[in-house]
Chains A and B, each alone.
Chain A
Amino acid sequence: MLERILGTPPERRLLGGGRLSGPTPWLIAIMMFVMISVAAAGLALAGSARVVRDGVAHRHMVQIADGRAEAPAALAALKAAPGVVSATPVPEAELRATLARWLGAIASDPQAALPLPVLIDVELAPGASPDAVAAAVKKAVPRAQLVSNTARLGPVLGALDALAWLTAALVALVAAATAAAVVLATRSALEAQRTTIEVMHGIGATDEQVAHLFQRKIALDALAGGLAGAVLAALALLLVTAGGLSGAGEWTGGRLLGSGDLVLLALLPFAATLLATLVARWTVLRALRADL
């Protein structure tokens, strides 16, 4: 089995040169390092957006400007409305603490005539109609407004999604650059091995046999380079997450990367090897049919 993948010793000798003898494995190692780092960042961004979106999916906020007197009525209307799982007023102390960041000590002074809004955190059951709940609370308190937390966080979530897609595009670009590098490396190898190819054809080798030699060499180079790049990327990610980003997992509800994400990242070197193999095969067969 291993011999089928790696080739027999005579087959491996046929193209000469050892593993890691050319620039291809090193180039692919660098590409893989970049690809995994970018992919990891993209998956972390997408995961964070998903966690935040899931967290606020059914949560709404009732706001009543300077409506301390109307708060009990609004709360009662909310609790009576269909589909409301919970309705919890945000404590005044919490409001004051938040405002103190902008207004300073005056926000914490209960004697100060500060018009504080009433905020009621509302959780709806899945499938419940926010419009019906909004109508119910407005009936009790006309000035009350029901705002979706998802809508409030929309710009942030949109930015996270856009960044995740941008990283996906970058991964695709790096993959394309890897493919282009493989095409150049294969053409260079074909040129360097022109005599070998002519002799092989002369003694009856098929294009398939010749292509097989090149695609196997490129595949092994790509695998070696890909694994080296993956190991370096893993070390870099460990260093980064152990440093400044260690706390980031807390607000995303756990680790930055899930086990599925890690499997996906671990598969990238093998995907790159497959890509390099297919590209090398295509390049060789095309060159043989066109030039040789």
Chain B
Amino acid sequence: MRHGGRLSEGAAGLHTIVEFDRVGLRYGTGAEVLRDLDFRLAEGGFYFLTGASGAGKTSLLKLLYLAQRPTRGRIRLFGEELSDAPRDALPPFRRRIGVVFQDFRLLRHLSAFDNVALPLRVAGASEEEVEGPVREMLAWVGLADRASARPPTLSGGEQQRVAIARAVIARPELLVADEPTGNVDAGMAERILHLLTALNRLGTTVIVATHDLGVISATPGAQLIRLENGNLIDPTGSLRNPPQPAGARLER
């Protein structure tokens, strides 16, 4: 699961997969949308990111999946300082991160199979190496019989599951999901949450941005990260100094 790069180890023996050190972000010359974010996420943890619309959740996720650079502060992922890393150095780290976009971002002209296979093909896997895992992943998300369907012919829930399958096919160490249950009914939301927790039990650190309190309450043991107007709400300091021991995962 680990692809190189040493995770940070804190004083309490914690392995942190994400470290933000006084991170700020602004777009262009506008006001800062994220301010002084200072937190650490333990490897193997399950986190919910909450906050009102416009609080900066999606911006924080973009920083996490390396689609955006901070305008100030330092970000370490997988033990590597990446705030100022050259552009060409980022793809290997992105391959260790799975992303579920709020709007799915499936490629409409590709089949579900091709969408899910994309991360493996980008990583250079041969077609023989792609076929089995992709079929298996589609079966895991309950879409084995929709492999050749294109996204426009899939329901919202099916598209969401294809997006999740694409995000996890390469067994990422870190999974970032933006409102993965935002466009589906309660039953499908429960099913998606089940997929995410199953992945977490396999060792992936999961960060889910959501408004859905039902989803949060249905996931005991998950830690909450709350944003308000670009500021991290961490009254107990537990995000700055995570209490969760290394490797602790959800037990459900």
Binding site for B on A (CB under 8 A): 8, 10-11, 13-14, 16-17, 195-196, 198-207, 209, 289
Q: Which listed residue, A13, A199, A205, A289, touches B87 by the CB 8 Å rule?
A: A289
A206 to B93, CA, bound (A): 11
B149 to chain A: closest CB distance in Å?
A: 15
B48 to chain A: closest CB distance in Å?
A: 21
Main SS of the interface on chain A?
helix
CB of B91 within 8 A of CB of A205, answer yes
Which residues of the partner chain A approach B99 to less than 8 Å between Cβ atoms? 202-203
CB of A204 within 8 A of CB of B114, answer no
List 5 extra interface pairs beyond A201-B94, A289-B87, CB under 8 A: A13-B109, A14-B107, A14-B110, A203-B122, A205-B122
What are 22 A-B pairs at a CB distance below 8 A?
A8-B127, A10-B121, A13-B109, A13-B114, A14-B107, A16-B110, A195-B105, A195-B107, A198-B105, A199-B107, A199-B118, A202-B65, A202-B67, A202-B94, A203-B94, A203-B99, A203-B119, A203-B122, A204-B123, A206-B91, A209-B122, A289-B87
A199 to B115, CA, bound (A): 10
Chain B residues bordering chain A, tally (CB within 8 A): 26
Q: Which listed residue, B114, B118, B127, touches A203 by the CB 8 Å rule?
A: B118
B117 within 8 Å of A by Cβ? yes
- The 0/1 profile, CB within 8 Å of A marked 1, for residues 88-117 of chain B is 100111111001010001010110001001
Which residues of the partner chain B approach A14 to less than 8 Å between Cβ atoms? 107, 110, 114
Which residues of the partner chain B approach A209 to less than 8 Å between Cβ atoms? 122
- Count chain B CB atoms within 10 A of each CB in A8, A198, A204, A205 and give the residue with the most: A204
**What 4 pairs across the A-B complex have the smallest Cβ distances?**
A204-B95, A16-B109, A204-B94, A203-B119
CB of B105 within 8 A of CB of A10, answer no
Which residues of the partner chain A approach B95 to less than 8 Å between Cβ atoms? 203-204
Q: Which listed residue, A10, A17, A202, A207, touches B117 by the CB 8 Å rule?
A: A10
Closest residue to A15 on the B side, CB-wise? B109
